[in-house]
Structure 1
């Protein structure tokens, strides 16, 4: 069937508009999210297991790092969904959040892009739903046997934060300091630092801490 010139012109215009929108999103991400040096070479399959969240760090807030310690000990489960997709399941007493990512660059396991909105069952102590939004990138800043460092950046939500994961429910102070210094060397300012899973001097979990994601500012009470 012959296609009229106006149909072809419309198709070209639609394609151009879609390309412009994609470029705008890409520019917005680059403007907010720094050029991060993620780890290039590692075996992604070795990360597909259960991890404890031992530290959550917020960036972008100048004025020095405020450190707090809490008893809450979230767990992250990583799972591959084929060759180019994976799932991150975050579990804490307040509920569960399920993130989906794709790997857009062939043979580059250190850069993930969010797919769709996270599925969340998080709720505060009064049963009010906690909304979790994330549309952005995840960078694998470090992947070794003893710990995994993931930095999340969302231009849309203007959020930049890092989680430090360990196969055990603790990580030595020396290793945590090393991770923090690595992040600073790569241009990530440390503001709020939350060390989890208890430990000496930790504050007991209380009603004030409905969710670690809520406390870290990467989730909010639903309207």
Structure 2
């Protein structure tokens, strides 16, 4: 009797522990003629790394629904990692899009005159900088790829993003947050808050 009771308790505890887990699927979109033979998928939020040597889709387990940060690194490709802002049992597909390095670099190339905005920058100055392609949100990460929705965002608003080192010192964080908030204030003054819906991945300082 006691043994049966303990077995039931263990079963209930096991069910409770794993009840909130989510199974997600990682799929690849290879936009090149090159074959994927090596790379690494990383769940930055849980520090879980998976070595990959072919483009076949695979499944991962997440502890619960919510926000996660994923990336994929490869020496042979530039990579966009596309996934829902909040992972759930219904929204659980992570797409790894592989593109030629040359193509992405030319598409995402940021002007060398790209400028961090400060509190003295006026809306007129921002618009002038936008016309030159010199206004960018600042992101931080372990690679130099920029989330895909920033491509469409630049087409619509003239503002894209740049990636800086994943190691964030207090001064860099302060400057990035200020830059992003100034851009946010400019966009809100011109478009209201609708522009926020066009960015799945929000930069520092923007909710």
TM interval, shorter chain, is: 0.3 to 0.5
Larger Rg: 2
From the two aligned structures, give the one with the greater helix fraction: 2
TM-score (norm 2): 0.35
TM-score (norm 1): 0.33
Task: Specify which structure has the bigger relative contact order, considering alpha-carbon pairs within 8 angstroms and separated by 6 or more residues.
Answer: 1
